[in-house]
Structure 1
């Protein structure tokens, strides 16, 4: 089961998907990446990380959320008409800049973990020239490096690219990330001729994770995420081997009284008629494998319906959904 927690302040609105947490070894289990979704002016994004598990006294995913909520958007405030009042909610550009500044602040700071490998990626959808299109960006700081490498899918790239999508692999130990990402891209290209559609690519990601888990033993013992954005939506596929029958929910950002379920987490019925709905998560059984190892695949993202806005006045922010798939291998 997945618990969906939402929080907001003056500058941002963030939904955090907390994965299954083992009661027997809580300290290690909390290192697993948490799916972070940010709602911004003009779009929606998923944020994930790869690399160092703790920065200072905070787990890296907690540190990211604190940065997203704690810094005022200085350069991207939007005026309401002729009013001197400003919209305080972040834009996607402001969120990107916030993450970049957060990583840059670590360089030479002496904070424990600041000299380690860290990779943070954003992937989602934004309104551009009256259309909802995918966006993606990745910030990479190598171990003991004083520079930040930036790459990804920009709005202008979308119209000239044959592959209308962006993927990023996070979690795990990082040894297989480049290989997995390349193979994911090849599978995604084969899955759809032209634009990538949510229903086909989502299944491709799940199948690929299952195949990689059979070949790479570290996948599953250390949770892994793949975030992707494409024409009709964006999603995060999370992969872990924790058994929910012997686990409990926990989250370092929230006290029990402050935790609230997000009412927005729904599954589009046209793709997945729900078998069971509990705590904002929709579960689906998957096939069985012979060696009996239990693997859990969680899918969290949003679906934009038509995928295209006819005009800026008809902007429709995609509807989030959550799906949990499980299979035994």
Structure 2
């Protein structure tokens, strides 16, 4: 496994980080057949020491699962990355979405990052996680109803109190990062990025490279699309966020699979799966430090970690890039 230092902090994380969104069930069609604790332990055994979660994943369930998993692991050898700023239990801030919890109950989710709310969220997360500090605390989404300096002052207070080791953001634009930096030293920005979603290369990546900020990318396998296992016309259950997603239309899946089939032979020469090749390519891109990858069971977790078992040459990366030309959504 390879490890990445987060900005100017003393926090280092595994470049493959366990993403526990799916483990919480929310927007992934429930938690059936979910062995997330076993998956986290299998990841750790493979050198994946970092776990990314959030309160809204399963409305607390994902953090509780992570808390259960780390009970038997040495706390100083594990990095917990969680978030704040999405409230489903408080109607304040900017309305974000209508959704359902894992029991099918309707919920409204709000982006809210007021000072008191952040302090409360941190205490709730610490309780669910069963720990007294968070290694990286990230604002989940920007909140246009609260000045960024108020949010960052509250985050800074948590750092001063020792409850948070390093401060980060997620889904922040360059302008928002610049505004936040007037108040606090951010070490990272967590953004969506994949072979078919590369827009951050235009601005966020250059900014973070120039200012020594780590980029953590989520959905590097594009919700499973880039594993090559999705078939055109495949149906997803109610509550699954791939249901109706533009990248999962029959035409889009057919187009993506055609490109994946061109690079599949390269994966085979590496004794790797297509998904592992995609992850290795992702981490070879300039400025991309960490890939968050989900797993619902130990087998998937081990497969994800094995993406670090091989390297790609410049020529192999160039070959993949040529196949991807024109595919970006």
Range of TM-score over shorter length: 0.3 to 0.5
Which structure dedicates a bigger proportion of its chain to strand?
1
Greater relative contact order (CA < 8 Å, ≥ 6 in sequence): 2
TM-score under structure 2 normalisation? Answer: 0.32
Greater helix share, 1 or 2? 2
